Amino acid sequence: MKKLFMLFVLTALTLSACGGGAETTQPSGGEEPAAGEKITIRVWTHQNDSFNAGYETLAAEYTGMHPDVEIVFETFDYDTYIQTLQTALPAGTEADILQMFGSWVCSYVEGGNLAEMPSSVISMDDAKAKILGAPIGGYICGDKLYGVPQEYNIEYGAVLFNTTIAEEVGATNYMDGWADWDEVIEDGKKMAVVQDGVMTRAGLNFTSSDGLATMFHSVYLQNGEEYLTDGIYTVNTPAGLATLELMQRLVDEGLDDPILFNDDENWVGDSYFAESSAMGLIGPWAIPEYSGDYEDVAATTIYALLPSAGAEPTFAAASGWGLTVSANSEVQEAAWDFVKFVTLDMDNAVEWNLASGTLPALAENITGANADSLVSEFPYFEPFLGILEYGEFEGQFPDRDFVWYEVAYPEVLNFLQGNATAEETLQTMESSVRGSFE
Amino acid sequence: MTKSVRFFWRRAFRGRDAAKKRFLAGTISPLVLYMAFWTLFPLVWGLALAFFDYSPRRAGGFLGFGGGNPFVGLQHFQNMMDFSSGAALEVQQFHIGIKMTIVFAALVVPLNMLVTLPLAFMIESVHKRLRGLFRTIFFLPVLAPSVGVAIMWGFIFHPQRGLLNAIIGKFAGKLIGINWLGDPNIVIGGIPIALFAIVIAYIWQDLGYNMVIFIAALQAIPDNIKDAAKIDGANRWQMFTRIIVPLMSPTIMLAVVLTMISAFQVFDIIQVMTDGGPNDQTQVLLLNIYNYAFRYQKMGWAAAVSIVMFLLVISVSLVQTRLLRTEWEY
């Protein structure tokens, strides 16, 4: 019986091992289409109704012009999509076109999974001229381009601002635009509420993970230094100290309590729309996300541009959603043609931005008629459109989320909570991020 | 079919009791295959991962090994031994994970015993008609999903809208804004307040389980022993400390070890309540493994940490077998 059992175990292991091996070599995509045969392009996206409605409209337009092409969309909820990409790409079982967030692209390029952009679609120089720096940055790995961004993901540059609270407390500096941080602090102090020593309403909630990490790196850039040069992360500098000093000042002046307002408690989106924060550092995606449930707050909310700590309102940004083509695709030419149609034609690109409620990645869409149509549909975009050109891609880290959520956010928060000095914080950040490159 | 395979086949299925063997093979093989594919294979694969710098994002060779995921031997385990201040963040977090897991288990086990054993004794002391009701009430949290329990306790501990601060505020006559789950500066006896808060939520959910075990053990104690103690003049406290507890010691040991193993494996309640914060003060080992395996895709490292955790749990299990050995019975 023991022998029999061993036989089954060995058979099972052999079968499972064979199964695993087969997965890595399985070809993907359709067969090379014969002349006159309909080409099927499979597209993978994450489940986002407005994003996908935009894709489907453009796909219908495209297939109307190219009757020999069929475009099939397959969508996954966000978490499943990440896991599916991580397993399908190394196994070679992915679709022809893959929706990607810019900061993911190079890690898949490293595995040889994504196709390089053919120069017939757009050259690197033309792409850099046509597409804004921050979004395109995520799609450039080494000196090659691997896709096209469709949106501009921005987390810093402007803050959600509750005009009703401002009116009640007489905060007026924002009306003409804040000239410097002193004016922000003056408004924020008036709008904050502290009762029995407990902050019940933050003047400016900037201590959530995305906001805090992006603010640190953005203000660092504004202070005139680069934090990532040739793969070396450097923040333990006078610019780093000045950045932490500004953040500490916001806490000391009573605009925010980093113990009560952070990622775990009073997260900025929830807190702002529940009116326990009068200002909140969060990207423009927050308004459509919350306006359904908090119609009254959304109606009196504006985005107020933050002043720059330096000469230019430079900020760090995490690229944005866009389209890439699988290196395994058998229909790469057709796939790139569809990507070009969706992303590089300025009218199609803005049509998708309008459908998805996202900021444009194309430089030509931040001014002119297309920008006007975006602002008329989404008035809160207006302040952002003026600063998009100052954005810098946050940089190619081996794991950007590790840097943002495991290093920058906890370390800066720890400093603001009074548990580390500025020098210790910068030193720890620097060594931890450099360690992640090894 | 080769000669040796034919020989094996004949011996296995055509000898005496062939029908019996075929029946056994037919019934057992699906389960064995299932176990081999879903349990044994992942186990072996996970073990192998610990010796590779493996990330599913990188292209590798067979089963993902080699290529972009090189063999690193014992490198991960050597890194774990780096206690210098310049150690990589994952190593520092691993050390924190070990420490917090042990502290968590060391808090949970005695507190759980201190609550559940007297509780079981008290429930057994009430009128028979009420016992079922109390058992149900105290066992209900065990049936609740951990995520729901974590969310509920998260509301209780919320600094501004939480029930706990509201109650304290009523007594203090002023607004209280203690962030029980998020203030890294409140530490009692070297243990962060957030960890205490999680321990309370964890014990609240878990106590019904041990209570049922203790009730079963209490019911198994023969009445003549208790009657003899009563005749000798033992009061309820003496009965509990001198008769009940010693007689239940094997059961108590079992409960201690089971609770400790379960405390080592705590994950969901912490992930929802604090996600390891504030400042990694509740970063237990399983959360650490999850983060590195699935958030940061460092599966080689996570597998190595899993092996350490496995060794920890197996050590506890060995202690269990040793401590549970009794020479007597009643």
Q: Is the pLDDT of residue A83 over 90?
A: no
The alpha carbon of residue A9 is apart from the nearest alpha carbon of chain B, in Å, by 6
Per-residue pLDDT at A89: 86
- The pLDDT of residue A33 is 54
A228 φ, ψ (degrees, to nearest 5) = -130, 110
Same domain flag for B117 and B14: no
Q: What are phi and psi of A384, to 5 degrees?
A: -70, -40
Which one of A2, A5, A16 would you mutate to disrupt binding with B, by most B Cβ within 10 Å of its Cβ? Answer: A16
| Inter-residue long-range contacts of A240-246, CB under 8 Å, 24+ positions, other chains counted | A240/A422, A240/A426, A241/A422, A241/A423, A241/A426, A242/A309, A243/A216, A243/A219, A243/A309, A244/A216, A244/A412, A244/A415, A244/A422, A244/A425, A244/A426, A245/A422, A246/A181, A246/A219, A246/A309
CA angle (A172, A176, A179) in 5-degree steps = 95
Same fold for the pair A39-153+318-393 and A158-316+397-437:
yes
- Kindly state whether residue B59 falls inside one of the protein's structural domains: no
Residue B165 lies in a domain: yes
Q: Which of the listed CATH numbers 3.60.20.10, 3.40.50.300, 2.90.10.10, 3.40.190.10 matches domain A158-316+397-437?
A: 3.40.190.10
Q: Is the dihedral angle over the CA atoms A247, A251, A254, A255 positive or is it negative? A: positive
Contact B28 A8 (CB under 8 A): yes
Cα separation of B60 and A77, whole Å? 27
For residues A281 and A208, is the Cβ–Cβ distance under 8 A?
yes
Q: How far is CA A142 from the centre of its chain?
A: 20
If asked whether residues B43 and B168 sit together in one domain, one would say no
At residue B66, the pLDDT reads 84
Contacts of A431 in chain B (CB under 8 A): 86
Quick one: tokens of A14?
């052999």
Same domain? B175 vs B37 = no
**Which chain B residues are within 8 Å of A398, Cβ to Cβ?**
none
Is the residue at B118 inside a domain?
yes
Residues facing A229 on adjacent strands: A232
CA dihedral B284, B290, B295, B298 (to 10 degrees): 100
Report the amino acid identity of residue A339: V
CATH number of A39-153+318-393: 3.40.190.10
**Looking at beta carbons, which residues of chain B come within 8 Å of A1?**
24
pLDDT at A45 over 80: yes
Residue with tokens 């979004």: A135
**B166 and B102, same domain (yes or no):** yes
How far CA B205 is from CA of B22, B106, B118, B152, in Å, comes to 47, 17, 17, 11
Domain count of the fold of chain B: 2
- Please give the Cα distance from A137 to A118 (Å, whole number): 17
Contact at CB, A417 and B62, closer than 8 angstroms: no
Same domain, B5 and B127: no
The Cα A381–Cα A141 span in angstroms is: 29
Query: Which residues in chain B show pLDDT less than 70?
Result: 1-5, 7-16, 324-330
Instruction: List for chain A the helix, strand, coil content (%; round to 5).
Output: 50, 15, 35
Mutate to test the interface with B, among A8, A270, A409 (most CBs of B within 10 A): A8
User: Of the candidates B282, B292, B289, which has an alpha carbon nearest to the alpha carbon of residue B312?
Assistant: B289
Query: Is residue B21 a part of any domain in this protein?
Result: yes
Which of B13, B57, B187 best tests the A interface by mutation, with the highest count of A CBs <10 A? B57
Look up tokens 């209900």; give the residue: B140
Calculate ∠ Cα B85-B296-A406, nearest 5°: 45
Q: Give residue A8's pLDDT.
A: 43
Distances (CA, A) of A344 to A18, A40, A131, A249, A351: 43, 21, 9, 43, 12
pLDDT in tens, A301-325: 999 999 999 989 999 999 999 999 9
pTM listed for this prediction? 0.82
pLDDT band of A225, cuts 50, 70, 90: very high
Range of the domain at B19: 1-47
Look at residue B8 in the predicted model and tell me its pLDDT: 67
A83 close to A30: Cβ distance less than 8 angstroms? no
Distance from CA of B80 to the nearest CA of A (A): 15
Q: Give per-residue pLDDT as tens, A352-364.
A: 999 988 999 999 9
In this predicted structure, the answer to whether residue A18 has a pLDDT above a threshold of 60 is no
Q: What is the mean pLDDT of residues A129-158?
A: 95
* Same structural domain, B11 and B134: no
Query: Of A84-88, A199-203, A375-379, where does mean pLDDT reach its minimum?
Result: A84-88
Residue B76 within any structural domain of the chain: no
**Residues of B with CB below 8 A from A90's CB?**
56-60, 64
Assess if residue B124 is contained within a domain. yes
The C-alpha atoms of residue B284 and residue B266 are separated, in whole angstroms, by 8
Q: Are residues B98 and B177 in the same domain?
A: yes
Distance from the first to the final alpha carbon of chain B: 60
Backbone angles phi, psi at A213, to 5 degrees: -65, -40
| Domain harbouring B159, CATH code | 1.10.3720.10
Which residue type occupies A271?
S
Mean local confidence (pLDDT), A182-191: 97
Average pLDDT over residues A272-277: 96
B290 within domain boundaries: yes
| Ordered DSSP codes for B148-203 | HHHHHHHHHT-TTT-HHHHHHHHHHTS-----TTT-TT-EETTEEHHHHHHHHHHH
In eight-state DSSP terms, residue A380 is G
pLDDT at position A23: 30
Give B233: exposed, middle or buried? Use CB within 10 Å, 0-12, 13-18, 19+: exposed
* CB-nearest partner of A198 from B63, B158, B177: B177
- Written as one string, the DSSP assignment of B128-151 is HHHHHHHHHHHHHHHHS-HHHHHH
- Asked whether residue B30 falls in the same domain as residue B116, the answer is no
Give pLDDT tens digits for A122-132: 999 999 999 99
Mean pLDDT, all residues of chain A: 90
Among B36, B160, B183, beta carbon nearest to A200: B160
What pLDDT was estimated at residue B327?
A: 62
**CB of B140 within 8 A of CB of B205?**
no
Q: What is the pLDDT of residue A28?
A: 37
Residue A359: what pLDDT?
95
Q: Return the domain boundaries, chain A.
A: 39-153+318-393, 158-316+397-437
Residue A158 contacts residue A306 (beta carbons within 8 Å): yes
| Helix B163-172 with B146-156: angle, nearest 10 deg | 20
Cis bond before residue B70 (omega within 30° of 0):
no
Q: Are residues B35 and B100 in the same domain?
A: no
Task: Tell whether B169 and B103 lie within a shared domain.
Answer: yes
Q: What is the distance between the alpha carbons of residues A247 and B211, in angstroms, rounded to a whole number?
A: 51
- Between the alpha carbon of residue A78 and those of residues A82, A84, B69, the distances in Å are 6, 10, 26
Instruction: State the pLDDT confidence band at A198, using cuts at 50, 70 and 90.
Output: very high
Q: What are the Cα distances from residue A348, in Å, to A55, A387, B289? A: 10, 23, 44
Same domain, B11 and B118: no
Find the closest chain A residue to B68 by CA distance.
Answer: A111
